[in-house]
């Protein structure tokens, strides 16, 4: 191959390979912390559901999620769900809607708070975990967020986390946060509470996932057994032919 053609090809190939990396890098401006949530942990899902109903459902629906499905998966009775979680909707067969009309939301926040049914799948759990922990008070005294700069979502969990300010080094690079007002939870408790909410959103994003993994394991186990059987069978059939 001609030397120039080869060089050109190399440049094109590098470009093609690096494009996905570049588009990933265009996401959140800070490194994300690992959520490390576990959708099999039912106690965590129950706590997450409770927090979601208290702090998020006021603005964010989860319209693909039905209350009775939550009862079933989170090992709660329908009465428990109706008495402790259902602040909106009339029937256990309803989906998780919000009471706030879209037009009002536009005026209050400049935009409609998004439905969160699929947010864990579009943004990823690490994103959500970091987003909910990086609200801070900026120099103008406004609420801001490190993951989603200038977000119109208020820091709805501030009573739990307290308030924090962003700290910068002499080069102006962000180094972390300084607590300026304590919340009702310690930092560890707050991280756990956020992990529980993220866990619940992860579950909501795909309620069948625990079941899917279980079935998947069984299918693979079956295929492995079947592989051995087929191999034995093949050996038996071909024994006399050779
Ligand atoms: C007072 C209303 C309100 C409440 C309560 C609220 N949010 Fe929001 N949220 C918003 C608005 C408005 C936006 C759109 C923000 C934007 O795009 O700047 C938003 C956006 C989001 C997003 C999308 C961020 C993105 O990357 O686009 C997530 C995730 C989210 N909220 C999670 C939550 C969770 C979890 C809770 C409960 C702990 C919660 N919100 C409570 C108003 C609210």
- How far apart are the C-alpha atoms of 208 and 206, rounded to whole Å? 5
Q: Which two tokens stand for residue 64?
A: 């693909």
* Maximum pairwise Cα distance, the chain: 87
CB 78 within 8 Å of CB 92: yes
Question: Which residue has its alpha carbon closest to ligand 1 atom 37?
Answer: 56
pLDDT, tens only, 82-96: 988 887 667 899 999
Mutate to test the pocket of ligand 1, among 105, 153, 185 (most ligand atoms within 8 A of CB): 153
Our mutation pick for probing the ligand 1 site, out of 27, 47, 113, counting the most ligand atoms within 8 A of Cβ, is: 113
The average pLDDT across 97-126 equals: 88
Rg (CA), the chain: 25
Q: What is the pLDDT of residues 156-199, one digit of tens each?
A: 999 999 999 999 999 989 999 999 999 999 999 999 999 999 99
Contact 110/152 with Cβ under 8 angstroms? Answer: yes
Q: What is the mean pLDDT of the chain?
A: 90
Stated length of the chain: 242
- Give the residues surrounding ligand 1 with Cβ less than 6 Å away: 55-56, 58-60, 109, 111, 113-114, 116, 119, 123, 128, 131-132, 148, 151-154, 156-157, 197
Q: What are the residues whose beta carbons fall under 8 Å from the beta carbon of 18, sequence distance 6 or more?
A: none
Question: What distances in angstroms separate CA 196 from CA 128, 130, 131, 142, 150, one per listed residue?
Answer: 11, 13, 14, 27, 25
Residue 157 near residue 198 (C-beta atoms within 8 A):
no
Q: Residue 167 in contact with residue 178, Cβ under 8 Å? A: yes
Q: Pull the structure tokens for residue 235.
A: 């050996």
Average pLDDT over residues 22-45: 83
């Amino acid at each position: 191959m001609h030397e120039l053609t080869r060089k050109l090809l190399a440049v094109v190939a590098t470009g093609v390979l690096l494009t996905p990396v570049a588009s990933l890098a265009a996401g959140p401006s800070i490194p994300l912390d690992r959520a490390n949530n576990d959708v099999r942990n039912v106690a965590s899902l129950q706590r997450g559901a409770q927090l979601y109903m208290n702090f998020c459902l006021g603005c964010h629906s989860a319209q693909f999620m039905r209350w009775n499905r939550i009862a079933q998966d989170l090992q709660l009775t329908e009465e428990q769900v109706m008495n402790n979680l259902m602040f909106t909707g009339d029937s256990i067969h309803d989906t998780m809607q919000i009471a706030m009309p879209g037009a009002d939301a536009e005026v209050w926040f400049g935009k409609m708070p998004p439905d969160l049914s699929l947010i864990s799948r579009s943004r990823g759990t690490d994103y959500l975990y970091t987003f909910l922990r990086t609200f801070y008070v900026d120099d103008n005294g406004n609420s801001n967020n490190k993951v989603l700069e200038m977000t119109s979502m208020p820091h709805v969990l501030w009573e739990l986390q307290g308030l924090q300010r962003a700290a910068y080094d002499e080069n102006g690079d962000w180094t972390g946060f300084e607590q300026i007002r304590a919340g009702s939870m310690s930092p560890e408790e707050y991280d756990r509470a956020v992990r529980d909410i993220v866990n619940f959103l992860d579950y909501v994003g795909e309620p069948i996932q625990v079941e899917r993994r279980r079935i998947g394991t069984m299918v693979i186990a079956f295929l492995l057994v079947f592989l051995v059987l087929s191999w034995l069978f093949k050996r038996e059939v071909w024994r006399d032919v050779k």
